[in-house]
Amino acid sequence: MNAKAVLLGIFVLVISISVGVFYLQRTPSVSRVPRVASRISPPEVKREIAQYPINPDITIEVEAQKLPEFSLDISDSKYEKILNATGEKLNELASVNISHNLRTANIDYKLDVRKDKKELLVAARDIPNFKPGLYTISITLRTIEGEVNLEQDFAWGVLAVNTKKSIYRLGEKVEIGIGVLDDGGNTQCRTGFQHLSALRMTITSPDGLTTKYDIDNDTIKDSGECGATSVTNEADFQAEFLGTRTDGIYQVHVESTVKGKKRSITDYFKVDSSVKFDVERTSFPTRIYPFAPYPATSTITADENYLGEVTDIVPAFFEIGNVSNNGEVTIQGDYKIITWKVSLRKGQPQLFTYFIKFPPISPEFYLIGPIRIGDFSEARQWQIASDAINSTSGVVSYEDNGASATWSRVWTGTVFNSQANMDVTGDVPDDSRWFVEKSNPKTGEKLVAALDNAGAPVNDQAIWMYRWTGSAWTEDFVLAIGSPDIETREMDVAYEELSGDALFVFGDSTTQLKYRVRTGGAWSATQNAGTALDSRKRWVKAKAQFNSNEILVGFLNDNERIGALIWDGSTNTFGDQFEDDDSPAQTETVTSDEEAFDIAYETQSNTPMIFWGTAANTVLSREFSSGTWQGENTVYNTGFTGDIEWITASADPASTSNYIALAMLESDGDTTNEVSDCEFGVWDGSAGVTRPTAVSCRGDYVGRLISTAFENTGSRAIWFYAPSESGTTGNTPAYRTWTSGGGFLGSSALSGNLSGNIESVQLHADLNTTSMIGLTCDSAGDLNHYEWDGSSWSALATDLHSNIQNSGENAEAYGFGFDRNLERQAAYRWFANSGTVAVSSAIGAQDTPALLTSANQQFRLRLLIYTPDSLGTTSFRDYKLQYVDPGTGTCASPTGGTPSTWTDVPTSGGTTISFYNNTTPADGDNLTTNGSLDPTYQGLTVRAQDYEEANNFTNSVAAIAADELGLWDFSLIDNTNFDRTAQTYCFRVARSNGIVLQIGVYAQISTAAVDDVLIQGGTEINQGTSINNP
């Protein structure tokens, strides 16, 4: 790839959507504290109103920068009262709801009557952000003849266009970017799970000439940047227009086909040969991944000297920092105004930069600008959308029923990596039945507790505690419990949300609940949890309270009686215990053979709750409030045909919600047909909402066949379950959803048939996105997975493992945990090799691709890695440096280079890039910083680490606190042939286990190439060795 021909950046719109995130990196303070200038939003941000007559037979398409207003003919006499109504009376006679069809989003509106045209007007209120996708406006009109109900579908922002400039001069090339979404607001790529099938564009000049583009003939190009968690300024689809020959407005008409649905919009750009200021958004985010702060840079070149202010406008909820040129931030209504006092010289470009940290919300659509310079204004606003994220990475763990082994696979966010053995000692579990896996909210650590039937060295029922460090497994302890049976899961583990300390609770052959706590990296001895009451514990659950060090522990004992107690992480003690010991008598569960109870916290109120099913076809609850456990409350007591034998409870993580989803499986009295009812419910903070009709599922005898979880944002609950098939068996999972606004939707089957009938399911929600992982184990013992991306499920993939447990065995010998935190490759800079641990000669600016200047040149890369969690010098989270030749693609999507896929940088040799071994310093020596040249990021603290001549590397020099950066220095060499073709290489960091970090910016460098020799007339070449000019 010839580096001299590389084009740097077409910064145009990309629309990418995902689900929101739970954690966001803390932002440094802004350059100046924003001051409130006015409560009224600036007039230049108001959208142009586009009016559409209501026509229920079509779907109206609205551009992102337009504000839709719908008109309805009310000339008929039955509408007379509405025609003459105003204010509150109008709102009584006409009620309206504007809601997203697939997301939890409603748009506020205003009503008006245009009496002269006898029209009712319904206008969406102007807001600085909205969720793109398909909306429905529902109108109910109360007339003298009764109610009239109308519905109108409209797609808002599902197609969008950005141009690098809003106003061009004659003869300039226009770089166009196109973003395409489906009705759910999900970004559509060229290929992959979410993809479009057609994309066309027509540009019409002011004099009527048309230029046509089509992705099928490559006049619209795929950027290769479309994908999950990428941080990029590249548009997903790009085109160039070279016909700016006439001043005026150029119409841009775009058509797409997604999932069989055609959508089209018309946008524009302007050509003005006398424009006073050339404004180019040279490095500006278009598709954003909400975890990452983004630099926003505009270049302004004046056609005349100018002294005054330059302003840009962003929504008020954006966090703005590191404003260049002493810029100030003020708040005006729903917007922030960034103001620079400037002196622009004619013909001299000037850069204006600030950093944006976006809200943790996705999908979402934002409009930025316009930039104003005196009385000049950009002709259109810039469009930004929140990224479509697949999911955070994670780890699945499981039993090998065919051998004494325990396995895991890393989930990269899109695929599962190859299988790895968790057993790191000579002693291994022999017959594990129950797994529990939990993720540390502060680090990359996970704990997996495996309940084993009879493994060495204890040769008794035992619990094996495995710990994932983020890159490798350790075995913390093996604990013999001497339990009379192995049929139930009598243990659980949970992390305190604030401290990251872990609590492990378990039952044994006694009536006493036990626990161990892990603080400061060490486990305590076994201790008693609360008071011993009634009988031994058969099922144990532990769930942490958000934003607290409190953990709720619940259990079901051998006498079908429930109990609970609360762990206080600030004092490391248990309290507030209750256990149904029949004095006084309390309602018992129908069984202790199945998990007929669960626990959860209401998120908004922080109220601990316990739910259980009874022999009276009833679901009950108790809550801890006013300092005590309250009496029994009936959640559901009608509509069940059998006893409730399995319950799963999942709280909505939204801070303003007390919703708890309940997945319930009724008893099956017929062991032959294996059919029972799956039930779906929601606790709303005071009562159970109305349930939908039950769905026939496989029988309760085989295990947990229904599970539930809430998406991270949007308050949508998902149920994942094993329906019956033809009334007898089931080998394809199904799902249904619920929202407070839309209620329960119907059940839908997923794709693909498993090898056997489903015998257990699990559903795990990602607290960083709206994604989920559903796991199934079938009667063949096969472990399979499905991914929910916020709108649909992935297809059935290859088995994660075959034969993890026996058919009909009471077991769930598997677990999964999403990562709660991931590091980020934040910044870089290239340097000449110095032969010391210091560097002094930079090759280009920070975060800028560089060009080597000589054959087989040695060079250095200084790289910053952002850590959301604390890494001590003994944490040993190992990393490795990787590289790729992007070929005809990009760093994010390489195509056809050498190497064509991401590859660990070799220690030496080869014909591409390798580490370089200097005589001095030595690999691993502490680096020496250079404050004026080293890369920086967002003003965060940098912890210098070491100089590297080989993979792997870690932070062995200095601890890195949460929200800080580590700096590493890599010695590299170009081993390519020195010829006329320069080679370009991209670099990234991954954990040593293959999990790729969030990539804020790829480091990119091109090798040197032989310059061509131009031979002009009159030049002689003598003897082929010298050139003489007579």
pLDDT tens sequence across 979-1016: 888 999 999 998 776 667 778 789 999 999 887 555 55
Q: Comparing 176-190, 270-284, 311-325, 956-970, which segment has the lowest mean pLDDT?
A: 176-190
3-state secondary structure 495-549: ECCCCCCEEEEECCCCCCCEEEEEECCEECCCEECCCCCCCCEEEEEEEECCCCC
Would you state the pLDDT for residue 387? Answer: 52
Task: Name the nearest CA neighbour of 688 among 623, 740, 644, 635.
Answer: 635
Q: Is the peptide bond before 733 cis (omega within 30 degrees of 0)?
A: no
Looking at residue 221, its amino acid is K
pLDDT tens sequence across 718-728: 999 998 854 44
- For residues 563-577, average pLDDT: 96
Can you point out the beta strands (E) in 633-694? Answer: 633-636, 644-651, 660-666, 675-683
- Residue appearing with tokens 């079908």: 560
Would you state the pLDDT for residue 11? Answer: 28
- For residues 36-62, average pLDDT: 70
Q: Is the peptide bond before 34 cis (omega within 30 degrees of 0)?
A: no
Pair 394, 818: CB distance under 8 Å: yes
Would you state the pLDDT for residue 10? Answer: 28
Strand, coil or helix: what is 90? helix
Residue 310, token pair as written in the block: 């330059």
Residue 1009, token pair as written in the block: 């190439």
Strand order in the sheet with 261-271: 167-168, 261-271, 248-258, 198-204, 210-214
Distance CA 473, CA 470 (A): 8
- The pTM of the full predicted model, rounded to 2 decimals, is 0.57
pLDDT tens sequence across 771-813: 899 999 999 999 999 999 887 888 888 999 998 999 888 899 9
Would you state the pLDDT for residue 385? Answer: 67
Would you state the pLDDT for residue 183? Answer: 64
The helix (run of H) or strand (run of E) holding residue 576 is strand 573-579
Strand order in the sheet with 119-124: 48-53, 66-73, 119-124, 109-114
Pairing of strands 106-107, 608-613: unpaired
Q: Comparing 117-131, 177-191, 242-256, which segment has the lowest mean pLDDT?
A: 177-191
Pair 187, 287: CB distance under 8 Å: yes
Give the single-character DSSP code of 92.
H
Rounded to the nearest angstrom, the gap between the alpha carbon of residue 672 and the centroid of all alpha carbons in its chain is 44
Give the single-character DSSP code of 689.
P
Would you state the pLDDT for residue 365? Answer: 77
Task: Name the nearest CA neighbour of 869 among 470, 474, 544.
Answer: 470
Would you state the pLDDT for residue 128? Answer: 64
- For residues 612-634, average pLDDT: 94
How much of the chain exceeds pLDDT 70, in percent? 85
pLDDT category of residue 136 using cuts at 50, 70 and 90: confident
Looking at residue 50, its amino acid is A
pLDDT tens sequence across 877-905: 789 999 999 998 888 778 899 999 899 99
Please state the φ and ψ torsions of residue 547, each to the nearest 5 degrees: 55, 40
Most confident of 8-17, 57-66, 191-200, 376-385: 376-385
Sign for the CA dihedral angle at 464, 440, 400, 733 comes to positive
Q: Comparing 25-29, 799-803, 830-834, 835-839, which segment has the lowest mean pLDDT?
A: 25-29
Distance CA 341, CA 343 (A): 7
Would you state the pLDDT for residue 28? Answer: 29
Q: What burial letters (b/e) apply to 662-673, b meaning 16+ CB within 10 Å? A: bbbbbbbeeeee
Residue 583, token pair as written in the block: 């004095």
Cα 215 to Cα 198, 201, 220, 257: the distances in Å are: 7, 9, 4, 12
Give the single-character DSSP code of 99.
E
Contacts of 981 (CB under 8 A, 6+ apart): 1, 2, 1009
Distance CA 538, CA 474 (A): 27
pLDDT category of residue 527 using cuts at 50, 70 and 90: very high
Contacts of 521 (CB under 8 A, 6+ apart): none
- For residues 3-21, average pLDDT: 29
Contacts of 897 (CB under 8 A, 6+ apart): 1, 884, 885, 886, 887, 888, 889
How much of the chain exceeds pLDDT 90, in percent? 50
Contacts of 481 (CB under 8 A, 6+ apart): 460, 461, 462, 463, 490, 506, 507, 508, 509
- For residues 336-349, average pLDDT: 95
Complete DSSP assignment for 737-791: EEETTTEEPPPEE-SS--SS-EEEEEEEE-SSSS-EEEEEEETT--EEEEEE-SS
User: What's the mean per-residue pLDDT of the chain?
Assistant: 84
pLDDT tens sequence across 61-81: 887 777 888 888 888 888 889
Q: Bigger pLDDT: 483 or 319?
A: 319
Would you state the pLDDT for residue 441? Answer: 84
Would you state the pLDDT for residue 290? Answer: 52
Would you state the pLDDT for residue 229? Answer: 44
Q: Comparing 371-375, 534-538, 956-960, 1009-1013, which segment has the lowest mean pLDDT?
A: 1009-1013
- For residues 737-742, average pLDDT: 93
Give the single-character DSSP code of 907.
S
- Check whether 18 has a pLDDT greater than 80: no
Task: Name the nearest CA neighbour of 373 among 322, 300, 321.
Answer: 300
Where do runs of H (alpha helix) occur along 772-892?
none
Would you state the pLDDT for residue 106? Answer: 72
Would you state the pLDDT for residue 491? Answer: 96
Would you state the pLDDT for residue 46? Answer: 67
Distance CA 468, CA 956 (A): 19
pLDDT category of residue 108 using cuts at 50, 70 and 90: confident
- Check whether 664 has a pLDDT greater than 60: yes
pLDDT category of residue 13 using cuts at 50, 70 and 90: very low
Pairing of strands 743-744, 717-721: unpaired
Sign for the CA dihedral angle at 575, 579, 582, 586 comes to positive
Residue 189, token pair as written in the block: 């790529």
pLDDT tens sequence across 839-849: 999 999 999 99
pLDDT tens sequence across 436-470: 999 998 777 899 999 998 655 555 789 999 999 87
Residue 361, token pair as written in the block: 């919300």
- For residues 719-738, average pLDDT: 80
